[in-house]
Structure 1
Amino acid sequence: MLSSNKLEESVFQFLAGTFHQDIESPEDALEELLTEESKEFLESAIVFLTDFIGSEYSDIEKNEYIQSCADGVYFPSLDLEPLQWLYQVIEQIKEAVKKNINR
């Protein structure tokens, strides 16, 4: 199991690296991630993102952290809390891995 600091760092790198201010849209950024990253990376992302969702932080803290990392995502327009959105991202990654869309 990852330590809290390592977990936070992994989540930050994933969100900030994928969903930064310069993206066209969160959907495009996710599609790019799913097609360009290795299956191993995506499987690893599923684990650390799921660990983050299940961590001891409050939902408020998780929402604030996700929002601060994924600054290219405007959550009010999605009509989702950041935590709900992240759960959907994980599900989409799982589907991509299952379908073996990536290399």
Structure 2
Amino acid sequence: MTPTHVPEQFDRTMGCTAAELMSWLPRSLPDAQLAVDATLGRCVASWSEGTLSLRWSPLPDRCIALLRIPQLQVHFAFQGLDDAARYARQKFFDLHTHRGGG
């Protein structure tokens, strides 16, 4: 769920692998120019009004009984986008990277 106020910078733990995150980037940031560096775990999404820089690093899997969920620590840094634009971009990103049901 996207908070009503999206700060310019924040960290989030996501339940995915780096490969999964990179495969989601084009559809979760569809109108952005993307510069992805998989080796360094970075992506910069650029729009005319500003940018979103993502940095990620793997965390240990979350284990629940026999279930193992990969995790990434992802740092989000918006630059040049006002509150409304950050909210809209983050909400779209969240809707297209959300997993699970119900």
Q: Same fold (TM over 0.5)?
A: no
More strand by proportion, 1 or 2? 2
What is the TM-score normalised by the length of structure 2? 0.31
TM-score (norm 1): 0.30
**Bigger-Rg structure (1/2):** 2
